[in-house]
Structure 1
């Protein structure tokens, strides 16, 4: 359904699963394990895995331990790495060029943080013409209840619910669990 009729491929986006982003996040180990399953599934059938890595001048300074990806997830040298400084992984990055070069019109999205970079990237993708599948049990966020936000579990559940029904002309969003994701000839549901 993607607007990109010349881009039949799917890519897995792994967003910001960095030490300083997911340390202390709810279900951290479960989410990282699910992302590892997704990466292995994608690699097994040749689906591109694109890694997104956030940096800033404070807590995620490039080269710092907090900026590094968690040790459980290892990017292969051949897999694209997109550096970003904004929530939307498309903003002022080469993500669009990477995806175009891979013939990708459909994205499967996992990572952190649910209420920031995940949401921003999902919306950025659908606005730009991509179908975007959120893996509901493969994203997490920090606890921001001290600032008036809902609990992380509520943020995750709400994001999963509303993204499941997201549509735009000629493209759609959806939410599935890790076990339901199949890469290859069939489109992830």
Structure 2
């Protein structure tokens, strides 16, 4: 499957989770410290903001994930979600301490309560919490859409990593071809994300 390819109606939902027909937008770790100085920060945040606004308009749940650990103190300014993105009352906010947003959090119970079997994932950082959460969702039975121009990473070339642009491109490439029985993985640009099936 190529990145950005839409499927015929009826082929989009393949989740292995029973009675979970809904989609949710999952915004991961778009916090002040996490996205400070990352690749194309303002463009990515704007893309996420547009996606969140469209989800709200279409009645699709938005679920926020917020990380804290010994280097990112809960309640600090660095820990707060960036000012361009403001969770609304009633939108779930899941706190986490590990890369995978499902690990030792309330995320699964939140999504189960919403009847969600497909996640549209955006946020930071591509080579850490985004990758962990993509795989965490997929192995738990979710269909997983990565928003290809709405995730980002900082520069870790000093430690031997590829450039952020290469990290993002590689993640988009391999996720577009990810396969597992009864589930679907895809990569779609923000403007092409389908949140609801056509009537």
Answering whether residue 13 of structure 2 is matched by residue 38 of structure 1, we say no
If the length of structure 2 is used for normalisation, what is the TM-score?
0.92
Deviation at 1:157, TM superposition (A): 0.1
Partner Cα distance (1:93, 1:106) in 2:
18
Per-residue CA deviation, residues 98-126 of structure 1 (Å, 9 max, x unaligned), is 00000000000000000000000000000
Where in structure 1 do 4 or more consecutive aligned residues deviate above 2 Å?
184-187
Is the CA contact (8 Å cut-off) linking 1:46 and 1:184 kept in structure 2?
no
Aligned to 2:7: none
The aligned counterpart of 2:16 is 3
Tell me what 1:52 maps to: 65
Task: Write the distance in 1 (CA, Å) between the matches of 2:33 and 2:21.
Answer: 35
Deviation at 1:156, TM superposition (A): 0.1
RMSD: 1.0
Would you say how many aligned residue pairs link Structure 1 and Structure 2?
186
- 1:75 and 2:75 equivalent? no
- Aligned equivalents of 1:126 and 1:29: distance in 2? 28
Question: Relative to structure 2, which stretch is displaced further, 177-186 or 154-163?
Answer: 177-186
Work out the CA distance in 1 between the residues paired with 2:136 and 2:194: 23
**Match of residue 25 from structure 1:** 38
Say if 1:112 and 1:186 are closer, same or farther in 2 by CA, change over 3 A: farther
What are the within-5 Å matches in structure 2 for residues 1-189 of structure 1?
1-58=14-71, 60-186=72-198
- Counterparts of 1:11 and 1:166 in 2: how far apart (Å)? 20
Unaligned runs of 5+ in 2: 1-13
For residue 9 of structure 2, what is the aligned residue in structure 1? none
